[in-house]
């Protein structure tokens, strides 16, 4: 059966066909102007998802590359300081020590060497405070200030004094532009007996006599006050041997540097918030961050077989993980936590053996590493704990042992030269070798980090090129294909216009 085609039907059909071909033509035209296949999510929902994910990947890679650039700057500067400038300073110091160790050198000659050694000390102090973009590279995470400050310390050949000095059992206050010798001229016990001593700033050529009262542990020399923390036995010098005699108990006041940064040393700091307030706590393990422990019920550590409910958090209390432990009646309790243990102890005199519900214990490790993420879940520490490289003093005592403590070695050498101590200068030669070995080890560590960063940089470059190619494949147009489509769609649209024009001119009158 024939279907009658009305003018209205023809008009609707023609208009629809024109709009359809024109829409396709305009879509291709828009792609040509933006050079993108996807201009809105509706163009290709799946492709839009791939585009967004790839853009996120490229953004992350760009950030990793920025971190790599920063890490490269830090590490190259560190390598230059340790491997070149500090190495040259130690070579110069070794040359001076060889000269000062020669028996033909006089006190005046060693004084001249001391002037040069002090300049090298100042140079090393400047190197230890090197900054990258305003941040100290040897101060751990306290990079907003100087890593080291100049100070004073003690040196003594007496075994009991040296042990106390290495343990940090003394304080020293004041300043001095030159090293000094303190020599006791009477025997006894510091902190108990009244003692006579003398001090010199010119190697024993001239002395100033002084006394320390019975019960006192403080010595004063040219405005510098030394206070010992424990009673120290002293032996009187035989001054009849000459004005420069160095027998008896002899202590040197000499320069050093005090570390101002932070460290990665155990144990972590502990803070108790709750009862008993005098609860003794400790922690052991390799903690990468703060751990917060909360007691969820009262725990009597003097009972046996009691279940203790507790929780721990590694995100400052935002989320908690429940755990249990059992008391054994020893008045102590070990609580397993991520990366280690928290130990509670009520054996020492405390107000109670009951740890109340709600008590919180914060484990706060020292964290000196400044980590940069150079690839996904791959971090590298770009700063350094200066005390592990340069030594000096930290928390009131030598930061490294005497063999590898750079600042103490230089400070001792200065005092030996200023006080005409040839034997001490000879000892310095042996210590320089150990210090150089420690510096070489640290330089090698930095070199390894540089290699790792360089490898990451290469990988990120290839990775970014691949990501950009994937994004281009998904999002960008094929210009040749687009030009073909535009030509075809233009012809199609023109054909529709011409055919529609002829059709619309026809009517029933054409068939009468």
Tens of pLDDT, residues 128-146: 999 999 999 999 888 889 9
Q: What are phi and psi of 327, to 5 degrees?
A: -75, 150
Residue 344 lies in a domain: yes
Rounded distance, CA 326 to CA 299, Å?
9
Q: Are 67 and 372 in contact (CB under 8 A)?
A: yes
Which two tokens mark 355?
């740890």
Task: Please say which residue of 316, 343, 365 terminates a domain.
Answer: 365
Distance CA 414, CA 418 (A): 6
In the numeric block, which tokens belong to residue 490? Answer: 């233009």
Q: Residue 420 — left, alpha, or beta (φ > 0 → left; ψ -120 to 50 → alpha)?
A: left
- Among 348, 365, 382, identify where a domain stops: 365
pLDDT at 63: 94
Q: Is-contact 308 300, C-beta < 8 A? A: no
Predicted confidence (pLDDT) per residue in 374-401, tens digit? 998 888 989 899 999 999 999 899 999 9
**Separation of alpha carbons 50 and 475, rounded Å:** 9
pLDDT in tens, the chain (512 residues): 456 555 666 666 667 766 777 666 666 666 666 667 676 776 678 877 887 888 898 999 999 999 999 999 999 999 999 999 999 999 999 999 999 999 999 999 999 999 999 999 999 999 999 999 999 999 988 888 999 999 999 999 898 999 999 999 999 999 998 999 999 999 999 999 999 999 999 888 899 999 999 999 999 999 999 999 888 999 998 776 554 455 789 999 999 999 999 888 878 888 888 888 778 899 988 887 789 999 999 999 989 999 999 999 998 888 999 999 999 989 999 999 988 999 999 887 667 888 999 999 999 887 778 888 999 888 898 989 999 999 999 989 999 998 899 999 999 999 999 999 999 999 999 899 999 999 999 999 999 999 999 999 999 999 999 988 887 777 767 667 667 776 776 777 677 676 666 666 665 555 55
Does 442 map to a domain?
no
Position of tokens 């002293």? 234
| 3-class DSSP assignment, residue 224 | strand
The answer for residues whose C-beta is within 8 angstroms of residue 198's C-beta and 6 or more apart is: 182, 183, 185, 207, 208, 209, 210
Q: What is the pLDDT of residue 100?
A: 95
- Residue 152: inside a domain: no
pTM for this entry: 0.77
Q: What's the distance, CA 420 to chain centroid? A: 41
Q: Which residues contact 106 (CB under 8 A, 6 or more apart)?
A: none
Let me know if residue 399 belongs to a domain: no
Domain of residue 273 covers: 269-365
> In total, how many domains does the chain have?
2
Segment holding 294, helix H or strand E: strand 291-295
pLDDT value for 243: 47
Residue 334, Ramachandran bin (φ over 0: left; ψ between -120 and 50: alpha; else beta):
beta
451, part of any domain: no
- 281, part of any domain: yes
Count of residues making up the chain:
512
| Closest-CA residue to 69 (of 371, 374, 448, 465) | 374
Residue 135: inside a domain: no
Identify the CA nearest to 279 among candidates 319, 335, 324, 320. 335
Q: Which of 365, 381, 400 is the last residue of a domain?
A: 365
Residue 296 falls inside a structural domain: yes
Cβ-based neighbour number of residue 163 at 10 Å: 13
For the residues of 18-53, what is the DSSP string, one character each?
Answer: HHHHHHHHHHHHHHHHH-BS-SSGGG-HHHHHHHHH
């Amino acid at each position: 059966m024939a279907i009658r085609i009305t003018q209205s039907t023809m008009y609707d059909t023609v208009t629809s066909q024109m709009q359809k071909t024109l829409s396709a033509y305009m879509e291709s035209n828009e792609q040509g102007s933006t050079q993108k296949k996807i201009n809105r999510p509706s163009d290709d929902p799946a492709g839009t998802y791939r585009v967004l994910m790839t853009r996120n990947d490229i953004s992350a890679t760009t950030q990793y590359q920025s971190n790599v650039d920063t890490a490269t700057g830090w590490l190259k500067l560190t390598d230059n300081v340790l491997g070149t400038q500090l190495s040259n300073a130690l070579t110069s110091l070794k040359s001076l020590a060889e000269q000062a160790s020669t028996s033909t050198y006089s006190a005046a000659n060693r004084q001249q060497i001391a002037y040069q050694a002090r300049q090298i000390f100042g140079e090393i102090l400047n190197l230890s405070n090197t900054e990258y973009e305003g941040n100290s590279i040897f101060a751990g995470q306290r990079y907003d200030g100087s890593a080291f400050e100049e100070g004073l310390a003690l040196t003594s050949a007496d075994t009991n004094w040296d042990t106390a000095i290495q343990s940090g059992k003394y304080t020293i206050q004041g300043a001095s532009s030159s090293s000094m010798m303190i020599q006791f001229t009477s025997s006894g016990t510091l902190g108990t007996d009244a003692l006579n001593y003398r001090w010199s700033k010119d190697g024993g050529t001239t002395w100033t006599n002084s006394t320390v009262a019975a019960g006192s542990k403080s010595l004063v020399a040219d405005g510098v006050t030394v206070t010992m923390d424990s009673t120290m036995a002293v032996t009187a010098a035989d001054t009849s041997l000459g004005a420069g005699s160095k027998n008896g108990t002899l202590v040197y006041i000499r320069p050093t540097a005090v570390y101002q940064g932070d460290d990665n040393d155990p144990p972590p700091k502990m803070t108790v918030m709750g009862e008993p307030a005098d609860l003794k706590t400790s922690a052991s393990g390799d903690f990468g961050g703060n751990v917060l422990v909360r007691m969820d019920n009262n725990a009597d550590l003097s009972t046996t077989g009691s279940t203790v409910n507790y929780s721990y958090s590694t995100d400052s209390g935002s989320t908690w993980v429940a755990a249990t432990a059992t008391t054994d009646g020893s008045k102590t309790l070990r609580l397993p936590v991520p990366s280690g243990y928290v130990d509670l102890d009520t054996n020492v005199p405390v107000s109670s053996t009951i740890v109340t519900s709600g008590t919180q214990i914060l484990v706060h490790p020292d964290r000196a590493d400044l980590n940069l993420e150079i690839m996904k879940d791959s971090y590298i520490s770009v700063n350094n704990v200066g005390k592990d490289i340069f030594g000096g003093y930290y928390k009131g005592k030598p930061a490294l042992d005497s063999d590898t403590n750079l600042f103490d070695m230089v400070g001792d050498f200065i005092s030996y030269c200023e006080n005409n101590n040839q034997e001490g200068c000879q000892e310095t030669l042996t210590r320089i070798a150990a210090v150089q070995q420690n510096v070489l080890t640290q330089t090698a560590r930095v070199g390894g980090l540089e290699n790792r960063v360089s490898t990451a940089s290469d990988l990120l470059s290839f990775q970014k090129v691949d990501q950009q190619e994937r994004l281009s494949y998904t999002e960008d147009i094929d210009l040749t294909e687009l030009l073909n489509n535009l030509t075809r769609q233009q012809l199609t649209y023109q054909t529709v216009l011409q055919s529609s024009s002829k059709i619309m001119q026809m009517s029933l009158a054409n068939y009468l």
